[in-house]
Amino acid sequence: MQLNKGKKRIKNQPVFYDEMKQRHMVVVTPTAWKKLQALAIDADLSVSECLERIIRGIDSD
């Protein structure tokens, strides 16, 4: 997560995007969850941020 490195984080202020993240529920199979976790670990991201980038089409490099 090297985007905005050194930027001070302020509560209730978005850091990576122009809007705040909200809590949602996603239901997946155990196999899909393990693969998503592996993708997140490989990209040095949280599962949430990994999903966000996949959906937005953002490279993790």
**The predicted structure's pLDDT at residue 1:** 40
pLDDT tens per residue across span 2-40: 455 556 666 666 666 677 777 899 999 999 999 999 999
Quote the CA–CA distance of 32 and 38 in Å, as a whole number: 10
**The predicted structure's pLDDT at residue 30:** 97
Of 43 and 11, more confident:
43
Quote the CA–CA distance of 27 and 60 in Å, as a whole number: 24
- Sequence ranges of the domains in the chain: 26-61
Averaged over 42-53, what is the pLDDT? 90
